[in-house]
Structure 1
Amino acid sequence: MISIIIPAYNEEEQLPVLLKHLEAVSSGYISEILIVDGGSTDNTAEISRNHPKVFYVPSEKGRAVQMNTGAKLARGKILYFLHADSLPPKNFDSLIVNEFKNGNKAGCFQMKFDKDHWWLNLMGHFTKVNHITCRGGDQSLFVEKNLFDEIGGFNETYRVYEDNEIIRRLYKKKQFTVIKSWITTSARLYERMGVWNTQWFFIEIYWKRRRGASPEELYNHYYKRLSS
């Protein structure tokens, strides 16, 4: 019933951890796992091709493009978009199916970081709230395939902020729920840039979007800051 779509780029360290985790915590509702590779230069392709339960899909680079590519090939009635560095909770697939049976066609999980820091713990606490300002791609996203197709999938002009953009459209259709179980995501960017620098960075992106910044302006600001 569920197609898991994982956009990847140079994720040779994270993918084995994630694939082992998915096998351990799923409860039988996964029809396929698609790893959509945006031209990795490490062993991402080899790891994906050698895994017996994975479909390896080469793609142009860019998460929106990669996730749309995976969605076009997916056969499941429910699409589940998952970042390579995020580990969903036990029985996540049955939790998604239960929401779907209850009429909820799209949603995510509550999120916590794998780093114990009071600010990151607080940010995780806010993901319990079912409001667009508390959403992000690391919380993962499940969506009925028909609904995904109806709204046109991910907007490929967004090379960053693509998750928030599609979630906003789902909220407008009143089709979004938050499952009360915790997905655990990596704090690797916070560790690389520092907690406060990273948080300010995300605030900048959020407010630039609120003030009408174009997808290209968001992309330029994002990678300028990451490379500085």
Structure 2
Amino acid sequence: MAEYSSTTMPEPDVSFVVPAKNEADYLRETLASIAALETDYAYEVVVVDGESTDETRAIAREYDATLIVGEGSSIAADRNRGAERASGEWLAFVDADTRVRPTYLTEMLGFVESNGLAAASSACRMTGPWRAKLVEATINHVFPRLEYPILPGFNVFVHRAAFEEVGGFPPVPNEDTAFSRRLARQLPTDYYPSVLVESSGRRIADDGLTGTLWHYATLDVERIRAST
């Protein structure tokens, strides 16, 4: 595994972990949004490249991110690999087509610490076709109310100790759903109610957060209704 880091930074409070495979069309905007954060907290960016053949690696270096050249076997494996390299007490997982608002870090860190949470996500805005807007509504209005809230993989803010306690992202389909449910069974998780990220709906238009994700959400909604 090759690794590159162009500067020596102070020990970060938060590590952003960004898996990326052939994401040159999106990654620059994602890294630019992280670079534009308005915060006094120290943070680092770890880009895990999944054997890209485009300019993904060059863009990561352009934004002074720590670059790990991985195997690209799965997004779960790349997220876990990035977490292993990261130095922060908190891990912020965002995808290569997700942009964070300037207040993201300050508000998320304040939210989890003031509420004693192990992990959280936030409301989001999805760009793209109408189907993405349906998923946006589900994430913003259904996922937070589930017995075990689903934290979508493109926007997961989790304490390192909690991440390690549950073994990271499992190597299964819809790994973020499985990770979220395993975590929430053991530790407190929640949603910050305001929109703090914007993500592309390109994958959702095909097969992204559907299938098993919708299945789990439906089961949880039915269980909540049955208990009231």
TM-score between both structures, scaled by the size of structure 2 = 0.78
Q: Secondary structure at the match of 2:102?
A: coil
Q: Secondary structure at the match of 1:202?
A: coil
Structure 1, residues 137-156: CA drift from partner, whole Å, max 9, x if none? 23x1011001111111111x
Confirm or deny: 8 A CA contact 1:10 1:40 kept in the other structure: yes
Deviates most, 108-117 or 37-46: 108-117
Give the Cα separation in 1 of the matches to 2:174 and 2:79.
Answer: 13
**CA drift at 1:125:** 2.8
Structure 1, residues 183-206: CA drift from partner, whole Å, max 9, x if none? 211122355x4xxxx58x823665
- Aligned CA distance change for structure 1 residues 208 and 181 (closer, same or farther; 3 Å): closer
**Aligned residue for 1:108?**
121
Q: Which amino acid aligns with 2:122?
A: F
**Aligned residue for 1:13?**
25
Give the Cα separation in 2 of the matches to 1:69 and 1:2.
Answer: 16
Gaps of 5+ in 1: 212-228
**Is residue 203 from structure 1 mapped to residue 211 from structure 2 by the alignment?**
yes
Q: Which of the residues 70, 76, 86 maps onto 1:59?
A: 70
Give the Cα separation in 2 of the matches to 1:190 and 1:65.
Answer: 21
Percent identity, aligned pairs only? Answer: 25
**Aligned residue for 1:173?**
186
Confirm or deny: 8 A CA contact 1:99 1:105 kept in the other structure: no
Give the Cα separation in 2 of the matches to 1:83 and 1:169.
Answer: 21
**Aligned residue for 2:223?**
none
**CA drift at 1:174:** 3.7
Gaps of 5+ in 2: 1-12, 220-228
**CA drift at 1:135:** 4.4
**CA drift at 1:209:** 11
Structure 1, residues 61-114: CA drift from partner, whole Å, max 9, x if none? 111111111111111100011011111223110112102321112011112212
- Aligned CA distance change for structure 1 residues 150 and 109 (closer, same or farther; 3 Å): same
Q: Within 5 Å, give how 1:101-180 maps onto structure 2.
A: 101-102=113-114, 103-115=116-128, 117=130, 120-129=132-141, 130=144, 131=146, 132=148, 135-138=151-154, 140-155=155-170, 157-158=171-172, 160-180=173-193
Give the Cα separation in 2 of the matches to 1:204 and 1:146.
Answer: 27
Confirm or deny: 8 A CA contact 2:48 2:78 kept in the other structure: yes
Report the structure, 1 or 2, having the larger helix content. 1
Q: Following superposition, which runs of at least 4 residues in structure 1 exceed 3 angstroms of deviation?
A: 119-123, 132-135, 204-211
Give the Cα separation in 1 of the matches to 2:215 and 2:138.
Answer: 18
**Aligned residue for 2:200?**
186
Aligned Cα RMSD in Å?
Answer: 2.6
Confirm or deny: 8 A CA contact 1:2 1:78 kept in the other structure: yes
**Aligned residue for 2:46?**
34
Q: Which amino acid aligns with 2:211?
A: I
Q: Which amino acid aligns with 2:210?
A: F
Q: Which amino acid aligns with 1:146?
A: A
Q: Which of the residues 84, 93, 103 maps onto 1:91?
A: 103
Give the Cα separation in 1 of the matches to 2:59 and 2:15.
Answer: 19
